Amino acid sequence: MFDKMNYKLLHINELLGYCDEIKIFLQALDLEALPIKPLVDKFVFNQEEALAASNRSKSSQYTQWLQDKDHRRDESFIAFRNLMEASTHRNNESIAATADAICRIIRGHGWSLYAEGLKVQSAKMASLIKELNADNYQASIASLKANAWYKDMVDDNAAYTQMLEEKTSLEVREIDYDTENIYKSLRLSCDELFETISVLNRLAPDSKYTEIANFSNDCTHKYTTIVRSRKTKKEKADNEAAETEA
């Protein structure tokens, strides 16, 4: 009756989003006459507790900001990298050779470094920028009229690094809550609710049980698709990196 959700594949924000959509749907139904009301109340309580736990730390406010900053530095890196690659095709041997030298530097640190884990990406970005800050490479970048593109990459990476440092500083001063058990309780209460509804529907079918199952299955399919999309994006980036290094 209910499609199985593989919670292990979900990021915390996806788990909370998945359960929140189901919670809102359940709260819109009149369940007073059904024996599942206590289990629904338990699930709603656990979902709200999990959401509170995710927002309890002030540092959690930085999560979305960091994601935005990370996306921005990814875009700036790709823009600079692609400009250098495009310049290797110019009908000017000097420009093409200069751009090719910069591309070799980028490849040395990772042509697709933006697809790495955040810590690895930060380390590779730092080493790339350090090397390209050398006077000879700065002169090369200037000769390619790419100063603004390079500055965007450096500035956007620095903005991400600064925000990460602020978040880390806050986390050091805050209480360590047992969020893992809170999230586990949410997953278990969700499964318990679904299993109970399946049993009750076999014993005494009710249209509301079917409505809940249909909506929950739609949510399961939606978030499974999100997980697959993320995995596909990562595999594509890995393949791109492998082809470049080959």
Same domain (yes/no): 44, 91: no
| 85 located within any domain | yes
pLDDT of residue 236: 75
Domain containing residue 31: CATH number: 1.20.1440
Q: What is the pLDDT along the chain (246 residues), one digit of tens a residue?
A: 999 999 988 988 899 999 999 999 999 999 998 999 999 999 999 999 888 777 665 555 677 788 899 999 999 999 999 999 999 999 999 999 999 999 999 999 999 999 888 999 999 999 999 999 999 999 999 999 999 999 999 999 999 999 888 877 766 555 455 678 889 999 999 999 999 999 999 999 999 999 999 999 999 999 999 999 888 877 777 676 666 655
pLDDT of residue 59: 55
Same domain (yes/no): 47, 36: yes
- Write down the pTM of the prediction: 0.51
Q: What does the chain come to in residues? A: 246
Residue 144 exposure: Cα atoms within 13 Å on the Cβ side: 33
CB 51 within 8 A of CB 198: no
Range of the domain at 233: 7-57+175-245
| 52 located within any domain | yes
Same domain (yes/no): 25, 96: no
pLDDT of residue 47: 94
Residue where a domain stops, chosen among 152, 172, 192: 172
Q: Write b or e for each residue in 230-242: b if 16 or more Cβ atoms lie within 10 A of its Cβ, otherwise e.
A: eeeeeeeeeeebe
Same domain (yes/no): 181, 99: no
Q: What is the dihedral of CA 59, 61, 63, 64, to 10 degrees?
A: -170
Angle between helix axes 12-27 and 37-56 (nearest 10 degrees) is 140
pLDDT of residue 103: 97
| 130 located within any domain | yes
Same domain (yes/no): 72, 28: no
Residue where a domain stops, chosen among 116, 140, 172: 172
pLDDT of residue 231: 82
Can you tell me whether residue 2 is helix, strand or coil? coil
Q: Write b or e for each residue in 159-196: b if 16 or more Cβ atoms lie within 10 A of its Cβ, otherwise e.
A: bbeebbeebeeeeeeeeeeeeeebbebbbebbeebbeb
d(CA 103, CA 245): 12
Same domain (yes/no): 50, 24: yes
Tell me the one-letter amino acid at 162.
Q
| 1 located within any domain | no
For the chain, the domain total comes to: 2
pLDDT of residue 106: 97
Tell me the one-letter amino acid at 185.
S
| 84 located within any domain | yes
d(CA 27, CA 197): 16
Neighbours of 94 (CB within 10 A): 9
pLDDT of residue 54: 77
Alpha-helix runs per DSSP H in the chain = 12-27, 37-56, 62-87, 93-109, 118-132, 135-143, 147-172, 179-203, 207-245
| 2 located within any domain | no
